[in-house]
Structure 1
Amino acid sequence: MTPGATTEPFDDLLVLIGRLTYVWTNTESLLIHLIAGLSRTDKETATVIFLTLNTTRARVDLVERLAKLDRTPDAERKRVLDLTHEFSKLAALRNHYAHSIYSFDEEKGEVRTIMMRIADRKQDIRVGKTRAIDAEAIAEIEDNIARIASLNMRFWGIIRAFSYPV
């Protein structure tokens, strides 16, 4: 980037991605309370379990499997599974921005993501899929942030309703 070049759109995007990351990690950490409650352990032990599992998918899988145990009442199971299902759906957009690098064209002011993932095809591989960050993408990120924040409140509702360790 040239000295003095304006990066306002890019800076605004980075702030938005920071907010997305914050609401995501804040909400994901609430899985600790679900692990504690469903496994009938304390928060400290659940934290160790949570941190030992190094992906969101593994943590959600654990919560879902615990919820599916026969000892979990149907109403509790349904609320937990509905919550984890919605949480998992929201992961796609967060993963896209967390696993991309960003390209900023100073001349045009355009921002793009470049996926840092290999797409295996039958006969070849594809790398570096790009996506423009336009008004639609910004609106999608903002909507996702609001949906995750709302989900956070639902997590707390379940934690309180079933007296999971806090």
Structure 2
Amino acid sequence: MDSAADPSFDRLILLVGRLNYMWTNTESLLIHLIAGLTGTTKDVAVIIFLTLNTTRARVDLVERLAKMDGRDPKVRDLILEQTQRLIRLSGVRNKYNHCIYSFDSDSGTPKTILMRIADRKTGIKLGRTDTVDDEAMEKIEDVLSQLNLANREIWQLIGQLGYPL
């Protein structure tokens, strides 16, 4: 398919690229939370962060550290608020990063094909397909706005708590 024939494809690719960039940038702020919560250096926290190879594992670590006995409940709650926001936003990010793309043969409209197996009672279901229409792209744009806000608020929290930069 010629992408020049369908501007929605170009819009989708740009949005997914921005989503990847902003997600990676925002998720990396967990490094500073790990450093602060463990009382270690940023370099050690980078090693811990990179050793955990999923967002869920990284968030779980930060949440468990925040919930440890003796932790100030105000600090715990501020951190949990941010990690839970990341988990909520991860659904859209995961959808567009863990799929393949196809195009409607008649309209050229982009579609996602989910790269997951859904086990059923007596069989399996593969590749749920969703159309990437204007509403779907607006949802990605909304997540981008929320990630932008999350990024700024997490940086502010890191500074407020005096965690390693």
**TM-score in terms of structure 1 length:** 0.95
Question: Which has the larger displacement, 97-106 or 113-122?
Answer: 97-106
Question: Which has the larger displacement, 67-76 or 138-147?
Answer: 67-76
Q: Map of 1:74-153 to 2, 5 A cutoff? A: 74-105=73-104, 107-153=106-152
* 1:101 alignment partner AA: I
1:22 shift after superposition: 0.8
SS in 2 for 1:108: coil
Identity of aligned residues (%): 52
Runs of 5+ in structure 1 lacking a partner? none
Is the CA contact (8 Å cut-off) linking 1:7 and 1:106 kept in structure 2?
A: no
State the partner residue of 1:70: 69
1:160 shift after superposition: 0.5
Question: Which has the larger displacement, 53-62 or 67-76?
Answer: 67-76
Pair 1:10-2:9 in alignment: yes
**TM-score in terms of structure 2 length:** 0.95
Distance 1:123 1:79, change over 3 A: same
Alignment coverage as a number of residue pairs: 165
* 1:79 alignment partner AA: L
Pair 1:51-2:50 in alignment: yes
CA RMSD of aligned residues (A): 1.4
Runs of 5+ in structure 2 lacking a partner? none
Is the CA contact (8 Å cut-off) linking 1:6 and 1:106 kept in structure 2?
A: no
Is the CA contact (8 Å cut-off) linking 1:38 and 1:72 kept in structure 2?
A: no
